[in-house]
Chains A and B, each alone.
Chain A
Amino acid sequence: MKLATIGVGNAGSKIVDRMVEFESETNRNLCRHVHAINTARTDLAKPEYIPEEQRVLVGDTNQKSKGHGVGGDVEVGAEVMSADIDEIRRAFDDIEIHNVDAILVAAGLGGGTGSGGGPVVIDALQDMYDEPVYALGVLPGEYEGGRPALNGARSLQSFVNKVDNFIAFDNDAWRAREQTIEEGYEEMNRELASRIVTLLAAGETDETDVAENAMDSSDIIRTLAAEGVSSMGYAATAVDTQPEGLLDRWGGGTDDDSLDDASQATKIKSLVRRATNSRLTLPCGVSTAERVLVVLSGPPGEFSRKGIESARQWLEDETDTVEVLVGDDPREGSSRLAAAVLLSNVSGAQRIETLQNQAVDAQEQIAEQEAAREAKIENLITDENDDIDPVV
């Protein structure tokens, strides 16, 4: 499909940047239009692939931001974005809408700009265009603490209510150990980018390289039309052009003629199974999905019809739904075979529940502290018997 992709805030912009990087490295052409929108001038200088003129600084004349972010305050994020909505709409006027199938808004939900400003941007897009608007939203990790959790839980509601589908990424699930701060985020963003691009770039090829089972943008839109919160899985394997290699790897040992086909079918099915059982962008029960879409991407010679069919059957059983689409995305000359799985409208994700609990606790604590604030300050600067007078 063809996308207009918009990153809001720091995390959102970095993720869009990585999506464009992944596309250009793999010769895909998904994002026909990109924008990075932020309240922080410094963060906007960071992307490597988003053209300078596609970066929008908002709120630089706003007293509360002045081009320096919104300090993790969702209210200010929303306020600053709303105040500059005309400028944003003007930027969106550039989207050649006849040339895109859908719009994707990426944002981190734990801060202020993406979290508070994202929903404002989505409102404008929904209002301007008939095309579906999806979100790619990052849930803050539990380790980030109470305030990001509160921002995230509140913002999640707004996002889910406003978008046609919310594709979630849970920072908690993707935390790796031996990393620097920079590497940690970079790695997560690359993992996320490869998943979303592999999934959505299917059926985007302009050339008539149409395979029998080729995925179409309307298939993707149909799967995402389930609304709610979605999660993605992914698995890839190197494609060996040597038949011996295949035999070795798949453990077949006979000279059977149908072996190649059979082993290719097994390969596809096991790849789809691996992708489904892989670490999901939002860990959740696979069987809770309402609709499922699988994109197989790789050299067309690898697409075994039998494999695709049995993968589909396996998924139907596994997810307990008949709304399973498995399609392919032929990439001539690619050295990898990848399966990207979209579990649309899942429920019961543990992290969302813990996030909400964390948010409730945080909200209570913040309210308590605010209520006691004035008295505590007064008490600090006043001596026990109030003998000391102020100087002015």
Chain B
Amino acid sequence: MRLALIGVGGAGGRVVDAIRAVEAPECRQLCDGNVLTVDISRTGSDEHDHVPRERQVTVGDTRRGVEDGAAGDQDLAVDVVRADAPEIRRALDSITMRDLNGVLVVAGLGGGTGGGAGAVLVERLQQLYDDPVYVLGVLPAADEGGHAALNAARSLRSVVPAADSTLLFDNDLWVGPDADTDERYARANRELAARTVALFARSDPGPRSIGANTIDSSDIVRTLSPGGVASVGRATTELDTGGGLLSLLRSLLPGSHGGDDSDERTDAGKIQRLVGRATNSRLTLPCEVSSVERALVVLSGPPDELSRRGFESARRWLEDETDTVEVLAGDDPRPGSSTVAATVLLSNVTAVPRIDSMQRQAVDHERTDETLRAVDEPD
């Protein structure tokens, strides 16, 4: 499916840049060049490698209080984008919605700009377009502190009802605590970008790569249509191409049959395990899978590796696990590929421990803030 990509704030811009970076070499177009980054900053910047300069919009450069961003001040960020709405509107005109299926707004919800300006933008876009407006939101890690948590908790309350669906990515899980800052975000962004592209973008297929049950954009739209929060899982397995040293050694062992262990049973089991792995251990937002309202699973890989029984039992397993009858499953044949991948979309997850703890952290922070202010201004 084709989505306009709009990155808001520092994280939003960087993730959009990372998505553009994986789109191109994989020939899986997600946005067809319909891309925009919006940031609040004193200096106009050109920091993204894969977003053309003229598609990087900076607003609020003359506003008091704006330095390198809104410095976590969501209310300031909201004011700034409202004041500069015409400029953003002009930039949006460069996007041709006619050939697109929707919009994806990407933002770090813990930031002033991402969480505040992002929320305003989502409302605006909903007024402008008939197509769905989705959000790809990054949740701050717990160790970033209470202010980021409060920002994200407030932002969720605005963004989730306004967006057609909000896909979340939890930095707490995906960003390592001790590595060098730039690189650890870069790694997380690559992972998030790869999933986003795997889920939404299909390569323009030749007849050989049209699946028996191709997942089309309408399937994704329908899966996401309950709204709420969504999580994306993905797992891949490298195929043993048979030429490896290990399989050679194995074939020399007494009683072996040339290392041929890829009978039908293992194929089916392999696929089921893969989908299990994608669902249970590798979600962008860890959640209670049983709280899901709709799910979708796409299996991609060389057609010869996509076992029908594995596909069926994986689908059924997902239906049991999510406790919903709304599970769409599709195949995405990639002749010549050396990996089999399962991508799982869990839509409208409503039991998310991480959001609960973030809300507690936010409330604690707000209370401390109030106490401090009370101390500051004794009447």
Q: Which residue of A lies closest to B311 (CB)?
A: A181
A69 within 8 A of B: yes
B309 within 8 A of A: yes
Q: Do the beta carbons of B226 and A70 come within 8 Å of each other?
A: no
Max chain A CB contacts within 10 Å: which of B212, B217, B313, B352? Answer: B212
Q: Do the beta carbons of B119 and A391 come within 8 Å of each other?
A: yes
B348 within 8 A of A: yes
Q: Do the beta carbons of A72 and B348 come within 8 Å of each other?
A: no
Q: Which residues of A contact B307 (CB under 8 A)?
A: 179-181
A314 within 8 A of B: no
CA gap between A178 and B342 in the complex, in Å: 20
Q: Do the beta carbons of A182 and B303 come within 8 Å of each other?
A: yes
A46 within 8 A of B: yes
Q: Do the beta carbons of A143 and B150 come within 8 Å of each other?
A: no
Q: Do the beta carbons of A385 and B363 come within 8 Å of each other?
A: yes
Q: Which residues of B contact A376 (CB under 8 A)?
A: 228, 291, 348, 350
A4 within 8 A of B: no
Asked if A147 meets B359 with Cβ closer than 8 Å, knowing A68-B216, A377-B348, the reply is no
Q: Do the beta carbons of B316 and A380 come within 8 Å of each other?
A: no
Q: Do the beta carbons of A45 and B366 come within 8 Å of each other?
A: no
CA gap between A378 and B125 in the complex, in Å: 22
CA gap between A297 and B254 in the complex, in Å: 53
CA gap between A145 and B78 in the complex, in Å: 45
CA gap between A184 and B311 in the complex, in Å: 11
A254 within 8 A of B: no
Do most interface residues of chain B lie in helix, strand or loop, or is the interface mixed?
Answer: helix
A43 within 8 A of B: yes
Q: Do the beta carbons of A65 and B327 come within 8 Å of each other?
A: no
Stretch at the interface among B10-18, B57-65, B151-159, B192-200: B151-159
Q: Which residues of B contact A182 (CB under 8 A)?
A: 211-212, 303, 306, 331, 333
**Interface size class, chain A:** 35 or more
Q: Which residues of B contact A48 (CB under 8 A)?
A: 207
Residue in A69, A177, A179, A377 whose beta carbon sits within 8 Å of that of B219 in the complex: A69
Q: Which residues of A contact B156 (CB under 8 A)?
A: 381
Q: Do the beta carbons of A180 and B306 come within 8 Å of each other?
A: yes
Q: Which residues of A contact B312 (CB under 8 A)?
A: 141, 143-144, 175
B213 within 8 A of A: yes
Asked if A144 meets B315 with Cβ closer than 8 Å, knowing A71-B222, A71-B328, A388-B363, the reply is yes
Contact mask B316-338 → A, CB, 8 Å, 1/0? 10010000111110010100000
Q: Do the beta carbons of A73 and B228 come within 8 Å of each other?
A: no
Contact mask B127-153 → A, CB, 8 Å, 1/0? 000110000000000000000001101
Q: Do the beta carbons of B363 and A45 come within 8 Å of each other?
A: no
Q: Which residues of A contact B202 (CB under 8 A)?
A: 42
Interface size counted on chain B using CB atoms at 8 A: 76
Residue in A179, A181, A369, A390 whose beta carbon sits within 8 Å of that of B213 in the complex: A181
A32 within 8 A of B: no
Q: Do the beta carbons of A373 and B348 come within 8 Å of each other?
A: yes
Asked if A65 meets B355 with Cβ closer than 8 Å, knowing A46-B207, A362-B325, A366-B325, the reply is no
Contact mask A352-392 → B, CB, 8 Å, 1/0? 00000000011001100110010011011111110111111
Q: Which residues of A contact B123 (CB under 8 A)?
A: 392
B205 within 8 A of A: yes
Q: Do the beta carbons of A388 and B366 come within 8 Å of each other?
A: yes
Residue in B119, B210, B306, B315 whose beta carbon sits within 8 Å of that of A46 in the complex: B210
B362 within 8 A of A: yes
Q: Do the beta carbons of B1 and A68 come within 8 Å of each other?
A: yes
Q: Which residues of B contact A209 (CB under 8 A)?
A: none
Least CB distance from B153 to A in Å reads 5
Q: Which residues of A contact B228 (CB under 8 A)?
A: 373, 376-377, 380
A66 within 8 A of B: yes
Q: Do the beta carbons of B325 and A145 come within 8 Å of each other?
A: yes
Asked if A387 meets B363 with Cβ closer than 8 Å, knowing A144-B315, A145-B327, the reply is yes
CA gap between A391 and B348 in the complex, in Å: 22
Q: Do the beta carbons of A43 and B316 come within 8 Å of each other?
A: no
Q: Do the beta carbons of B223 and A180 come within 8 Å of each other?
A: no
Max chain B CB contacts within 10 Å: which of A43, A45, A181? Answer: A181
Q: Do the beta carbons of B325 and A150 come within 8 Å of each other?
A: yes
Least CB distance from B69 to A in Å reads 16
Residue in B150, B207, B291, B325 whose beta carbon sits within 8 Å of that of A365 in the complex: B325
Q: Do the beta carbons of B308 and A71 come within 8 Å of each other?
A: no
Q: Do the beta carbons of A389 and B154 come within 8 Å of each other?
A: yes
CA gap between A390 and B228 in the complex, in Å: 15
Q: Which residue of B lies closest to A146 (CB)?
A: B325
B39 within 8 A of A: no
CA gap between A256 and B350 in the complex, in Å: 81
Residue in B216, B308, B325, B362 whose beta carbon sits within 8 Å of that of A147 in the complex: B325
CA gap between A385 and B360 in the complex, in Å: 10
Q: Do the beta carbons of B229 and A380 come within 8 Å of each other?
A: yes
Max chain A CB contacts within 10 Å: which of B123, B213, B348? Answer: B213
Q: Do the beta carbons of B229 and A71 come within 8 Å of each other?
A: no
Q: Do the beta carbons of B207 and A45 come within 8 Å of each other?
A: yes
Q: List 12 A-B contacts (CB under 8 A).
A: A39-B218, A69-B216, A143-B315, A180-B306, A373-B227, A376-B291, A379-B350, A383-B359, A383-B362, A384-B359, A387-B366, A389-B154
Question: Which chain A residues have a beta carbon within 8 Å of chain B's beta carbons?
Answer: 10, 39-40, 42-43, 45-46, 48, 63-66, 68-73, 76, 112, 141, 143-147, 149-150, 175, 177-185, 361-362, 365-366, 369-370, 373, 376-377, 379-385, 387-392
Pairs of residues from A and B, 8 with the lowest C-beta to C-beta distance, nearest first: A146-B325, A71-B222, A71-B218, A383-B359, A390-B157, A184-B308, A69-B216, A376-B350
